[in-house]
């Protein structure tokens, strides 16, 4: 049995995670949620004074906007679509027969107007673009959403439905790269306050296929993505618990996001993987929160 399986098993045994029978799809105990709530409060104490506009979207987004985002070009392997039965009574009969004999009943399901949100910031860009030019101060947004990625795994830190807290900044290149740097500094400070050893490193997204290789190289060469890494299931391959992304003007161009003077907005986003951070805390300080160091309990619960 490898280390990953045993940490997952310990999480199941302790009740912190609840097995659903699907890898990467877990229920969580009240204690697990309490840690996420406390950590989000800590995020608020760092980001709260910046005056970000809070928005909360459901875990599904407009399919037409998802198509426009280009997600299927870059990450088709991760996407999740919502399909429904849209047939007649006759179709229903054959559906039930199909299920009865164990055939694939999902073949007749039809795509709805909703796809599962792949990252908390995806619904934001078209929403803000609809408002017209950004104000002189640019844009700063506070988001949190369940996200779906089809990447089943026995690693408890790689889930299929997980929560991402994000801040998104829109403005000039200088403005948004300063924002990203500020959150890298804050990320290090926050993790220090909760007793986690972290590193920050340049990273890339898992762009699909041969064309994706070029995207990967470009992203790394230009330092467009950094990750804050914490050892959870492996010390050799620590887990990305935060990411810091600079999109240059690519989202500005795609969605028509413009600054007050009409120039194309640059954008950056920082994301916290909330389940991953909770798991890092449980892995590092133990599965029983009552046993955590007093200073860390104080940081999280006052």
Nearest to 190 by CA among 56, 280, 287: 280
- Residues 40-59 within binding reach of ligand ATP (CB under 6 A): none
Stretch that binds Zn ion, among 36-44, 130-138, 206-214, 262-270 (CB under 5 A): 262-270
User: Is 276 a binder of ligand ATP (CB under 6 A)?
Assistant: yes
Smallest gap, in angstroms, from Cβ of residue 91 to ligand ATP? 35
Smallest gap, in angstroms, from Cβ of residue 120 to ligand ATP? 8
Nearest to 195 by CA among 46, 50, 33, 42: 42
Tell me the C-alpha to C-alpha distance, in Å, between residue 247 and each of 40, 123, 169, 250, 270.
25, 16, 10, 6, 11
Beta strands at 110-116 and 60-62: parallel, antiparallel or unpaired: antiparallel
**Between 156 and 271, CB nearer to Zn ion:** 271
121 binds, among ligand ATP, Zn ion, none (CB under 5 to 8 A by kind): Zn ion
**Between 120 and 230, CB nearer to Zn ion:** 120
SS (H, E, C) 66-113: HHHHCHHHHCCCCCCEEEECCCCHHHHHHHHHHHHCCCCHHHHCEEEE
40 binds, among Zn ion, ligand ATP, none (CB under 5 to 8 A by kind): none
Residues 6+ apart with CB under 8 A from 240: 203, 227, 228, 229, 273, 276
Binding track, positions 151-170, relative to ligand ATP; x by CB under 6 A: x------xx--x-x------
Residues 6+ apart with CB under 8 A from 130: none
Q: Of 57, 95, 267, 275, which lies in the binding site for ligand ATP, with binding defined by CB under 6 A?
A: 275
Binding track, positions 108-127, relative to ligand ATP; x by CB under 6 A: -----------x--------
DSSP tally for the chain: helices H, then strands E: 11, 12
- Residues 101-130 within binding reach of Zn ion (CB under 5 A): 119, 121
- Residues 85-104 within binding reach of ligand ATP (CB under 6 A): none
Quote the CA–CA distance of 97 and 13 in Å, as a whole number: 39
Looking at beta carbons, which residue is closest to ligand ATP? Answer: 273
User: Which residue in this structure is represented by tokens 């009552």?
Assistant: 290
205 binds, among ligand ATP, Zn ion, none (CB under 5 to 8 A by kind): ligand ATP
Contact at 8 Å (CB) between 207 and 216? Answer: yes
Size of the site for Zn ion (CB under 5 A): 3
Smallest gap, in angstroms, from Cβ of residue 118 to ligand ATP? 8
Smallest gap, in angstroms, from Cβ of residue 261 to ligand ATP? 31
269 binds, among Zn ion, ligand ATP, none (CB under 5 to 8 A by kind): Zn ion
> Of how many residues is the chain composed?
302
Beta strands at 53-55 and 139-148: parallel, antiparallel or unpaired: parallel
User: Is 273 a binder of ligand ATP (CB under 6 A)?
Assistant: yes
- Measured between its terminal Cα atoms, the distance across the chain in Å is 39
User: Is 140 a binder of Zn ion (CB under 5 A)?
Assistant: no
Binding site for Zn ion (CB under 5 A): 119, 121, 269
Interface residue list for ligand ATP (CB under 6 A): 119, 149, 151, 158-159, 162, 164, 205, 227, 240-243, 271, 273, 275-276
């Amino acid at each position: 049995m490898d280390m990953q399986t045993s940490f997952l098993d310990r999480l199941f045994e302790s009740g912190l995670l609840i097995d659903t029978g699907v890898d990467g799809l877990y229920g969580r105990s009240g204690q697990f949620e309490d840690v996420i709530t406390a950590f989000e409060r800590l995020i608020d104490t760092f980001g709260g004074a910046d005056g970000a506009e809070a928005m909360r979207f459901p875990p599904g987004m407009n399919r037409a906007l998802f198509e426009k985002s280009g997600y299927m070009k870059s990450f088709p392997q991760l996407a999740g679509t919502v399909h429904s039965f849209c047939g007649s009574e006759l179709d229903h009969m054959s559906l039930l027969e199909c299920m009865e004999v164990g055939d694939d009943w999902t073949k007749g399901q039809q795509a709805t107007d909703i796809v599962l949100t792949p990252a908390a910031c995806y619904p934001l860009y078209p929403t803000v673009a609809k408002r017209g030019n950004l104000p002189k101060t640019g844009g700063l947004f506070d988001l949190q959403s369940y996200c779906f990625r089809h990447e089943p795994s026995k690693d408890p830190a790689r889930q299929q439905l997980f929560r991402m807290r994000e801040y998104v900044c829109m403005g000039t290149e200088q403005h948004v790269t300063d924002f990203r740097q500020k959150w890298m500094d804050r990320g290090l400070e926050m993790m220090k306050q909760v007793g986690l050893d972290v590193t920050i490193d340049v990273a890339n997204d898992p762009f699909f296929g041969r064309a994706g290789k070029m995207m990967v190289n470009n992203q790394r060469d230009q330092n467009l993505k950094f990750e804050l890494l914490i050892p959870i299931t492996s010390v050799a391959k620590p887990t990305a618990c935060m990411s810091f992304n600079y999109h240059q003007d690519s989202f500005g161009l795609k969605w028509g996001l413009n600054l007050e003077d009409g120039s194309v907005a640059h954008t950056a986003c920082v994301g916290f993987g909330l389940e991953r951070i909770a798991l890092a805390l449980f892995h590092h300080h133990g599965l029983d929160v009552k046993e955590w160091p007093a200073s860390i309990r104080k940081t999280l619960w006052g």
